[in-house]
Amino acid sequence: MSRMLLEVKDLFAGYAATEVLHGLSMKIEEGSITTLLGANGAGKTTTLRALCKMIKVRGQILFDGQAIEGKATEDIVRLGVAHVPDGRGTFGSLSTEENLQLGSYTRKDKHEVALDQEKMYSYFPRLKERRNQQAGTLSGGEQQMLAIARALMLRPRLLLLDEPSFGLAPLIVREIFDIMQTINQNDKVTILLVEQNAAMALDLAKYAYLLETGKLVLSGLSEDLKQDQAVRRSYLGH
């Protein structure tokens, strides 16, 4: 295996009195797409939240060899970790363009930012049509595109995606998955994808992890997991 961008060792995390992750360990290879599968309540969203410190954690998180478990979300973002949260987290009363500008809030290279913005509009032409429209008035698919585009405006090294296909029409889901492939290949963005649609996620990702009640139960190449009996029965439906 090549270089690791993210290494998680023995991670515990949860909300108030409820612990959700009980000693999670995982690695993400630089430049890869990795998918995190699991049933509802297994702790997928919690894992992503823990990785950028939106919740309290115990354990170790190494990003590019640097310990980040003690850092604030804002500082982890500055290292190049972008998170598209579940529910998309767009700024509803701000315009599409303002949402994109916020994505590049921490960047100082104004010229490059302008180029990136055009690039986002070329990835998602529909956002360009809606650039002055309030984000809250966009359709679900457009909001998801905006959320991804906003995350990419950071020029992240690691992109965390929380169920980008949730509630979207199959055609739009296809479009979004194609874009993920493109940004992984062209822009060399490492992606950690949490997804309900296990079949599509396993097709896209190189590696896969299977999470069950806060612990990893299976990990490996997506191709191998696709052949696994338990995975097939529980997540692929055949």
Q: What is the DSSP letter of 54?
A: S
Regarding 98 and contact with another protein (CB under 8 A), the answer is yes
Q: Does 214 bind another protein (CB under 8 A)?
A: no
Exposed e or buried b per residue across 53-62, where buried means at least 16 C-beta atoms within 10 angstroms of its C-beta: bbbebebebb
Q: What residue type is assigned to position 156 of the chain?
A: P
Tell me if 190 sits within 8 A of 5, measured CB to CB: yes
Minimum Å gap between C-beta 147 and another protein is 9
- By CB under 8 A, which span of 11-19, 58-66, 89-97, 164-172 interacts with another protein? 89-97
Q: Is 93 in the site for another protein (CB under 8 A)?
A: yes
Q: Please report, in angstroms and rounded to a whole number, the separation of the first and last CA atoms in the chain.
A: 31
Q: How far is the CB of 52 from another protein (least distance, A)?
A: 7
> How far is Cα 208 from Cα 222, in angstroms, rounded to an integer?
5
Q: Does 215 engage in binding with another protein (CB under 8 A)?
A: no
Residues within window 55-84 making contact with another protein, judged by CB under 8 A: 72-74, 77-78, 82-83
Q: Which of 124, 154, 128 is nearest to 141 (CA)?
A: 124
Asked if 105 interacts with another protein (CB under 8 A), we say: yes
Binding residues for another protein, rule: CB under 8 A, are 52, 54, 72-74, 77-78, 82-83, 85, 89-94, 98, 101-103, 105-106, 150, 154
